[in-house]
């Protein structure tokens, strides 16, 4: 049976004083976040507290927790068996999200951010609508979002969508930019594509929030209309998928037109390792 720690490695263990485990001074200096904020974005340093007062290290609490878990599991099984899951879900359907609450939660997470950075914390129309509808907007709202986002896409003046895949691979690998440790910016932003996608199948480290893009151009027979569609997708993912989780790289000025073309080449060029 897994313990609480193995289930939730990011849970912060309380110290004897009731505060959370302090971070190193160097790290604290680099972050703007308020260490007392309940919403923390810093990867947790799971240093055990010397007092060993965490729930997981207390055998009595651990077994009570495990008993609770198996009881919960058994009741879930019973619910599935009797077909009551839908009713249970309907009863616990999330209440509509209030815009003020969302904004307050976001703002309170960055109490020390420089003022010229704070504009990023204001949700735009699209983010508001997606929050409001839990990322599944009604058809009409979805259409409005896609039309608005489409209008912000600027196509290359020369009509050429394909750049240099070798540069594209470096951009896809680079996670530089927009993090609070990248302020003020010291180099050009990357796309951090591997954080969410598989691209070059030889790269072993990648995230799976987005679909695998391995063989992307090959399965599309390297067709020119797809190069344009990929450019648009990277420029503004919400144009095709109203509440996409993918950043709007072009519209939000994260990547330049030339960088986006290099990424299109990475996906669509026959020479690219993505298509090998």
Give the footprint of ligand HEC on this chain (CB under 6 A). 172, 191-193, 195-197, 209-211, 213, 230, 233-234, 237, 240-241, 244-247, 249, 263, 267
Helix (H, G, I), strand (E, B) or coil at 133: coil
Choice between 56 and 254, CB closer to ligand HEC? 254
Choice between 14 and 210, CB closer to ligand HEC? 210
Q: How far is the CB of 149 from ligand HEC (least distance, A)?
A: 11
Q: How far is the CB of 269 from ligand HEC (least distance, A)?
A: 13
Write down how long the chain is: 276
Question: Nearest 5°: CA angle at 163, between 158 and 168?
Answer: 145
Q: How far is the CB of 218 from ligand HEC (least distance, A)?
A: 13
Choice between 66 and 257, CB closer to ligand HEC? 257
Choice between 54 and 173, CB closer to ligand HEC? 173
Half-sphere exposure of 272 (CA within 13 A, CB side): 31
Residue pair 32/112 in contact (Cβ under 8 Å)? The answer is yes
> Which parts of the chain fold into alpha helices (H)?
4-7, 25-30, 59-82, 85-91, 99-108, 125-132, 139-151, 165-173, 216-219, 224-235, 257-268
Choice between 197 and 261, CB closer to ligand HEC? 197
Residue pair 235/153 in contact (Cβ under 8 Å)? The answer is yes
Helix (H, G, I), strand (E, B) or coil at 173: helix
Token pair of 195 as six digits: 């954080």
Q: How far is the CB of 259 from ligand HEC (least distance, A)?
A: 8
Distance of alpha carbon 275 from alpha carbon 106, whole angstroms: 40
Q: How far is the CB of 29 from ligand HEC (least distance, A)?
A: 27
Distance of alpha carbon 209 from alpha carbon 180, whole angstroms: 22
Q: How far is the CB of 260 from ligand HEC (least distance, A)?
A: 8
């Amino acid at each position: 049976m897994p313990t609480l720690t193995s289930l939730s490695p990011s849970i912060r263990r309380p110290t004897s004083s009731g505060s959370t485990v302090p971070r190193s001074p160097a790290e604290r200096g680099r972050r703007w976040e308020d260490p007392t904020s309940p919403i923390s974005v810093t990867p947790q340093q799971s240093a055990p507290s010397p007092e060993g007062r965490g729930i997981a290290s207390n055998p009595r609490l651990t077994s009570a927790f495990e008993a609770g878990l198996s009881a919960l599991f058994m009741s879930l099984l019973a619910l599935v068996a009797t077909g009551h899951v839908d009713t249970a879900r309907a009863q616990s359907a999330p209440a509509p999200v209030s815009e003020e609450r969302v904004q307050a939660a976001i703002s309170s997470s960055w109490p020390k951010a420089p003022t010229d950075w704070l504009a990023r914390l204001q949700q735009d129309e699209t983010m508001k609508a997606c929050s409001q509808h839990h990322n599944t907007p009604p058809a009409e709202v979805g259409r409005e979002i896609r039309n608005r986002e489409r209008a912000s896409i600027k196509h290359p003046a020369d009509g050429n969508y394909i750049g240099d895949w070798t540069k594209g691979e470096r951009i896809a690998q680079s996670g530089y930019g927009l993090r609070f440790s990248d302020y003020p910016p010291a180099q050009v932003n990357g796309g951090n594509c591997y954080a969410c996608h598989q691209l070059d199948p030889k790269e072993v480290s990648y995230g799976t929030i987005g679909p695998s893009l391995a063989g992307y151009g090959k399965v599309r027979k390297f067709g020119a209309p797809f190069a344009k569609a990929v450019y648009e997708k990277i420029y503004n993912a919400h144009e095709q998928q109203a509440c996409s989780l993918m950043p709007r790289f072009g519209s939000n000025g994260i990547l330049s037109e030339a960088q986006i073309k290099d990424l299109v080449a990475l996906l669509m060029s026959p020479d690219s390792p993505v298509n090998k």
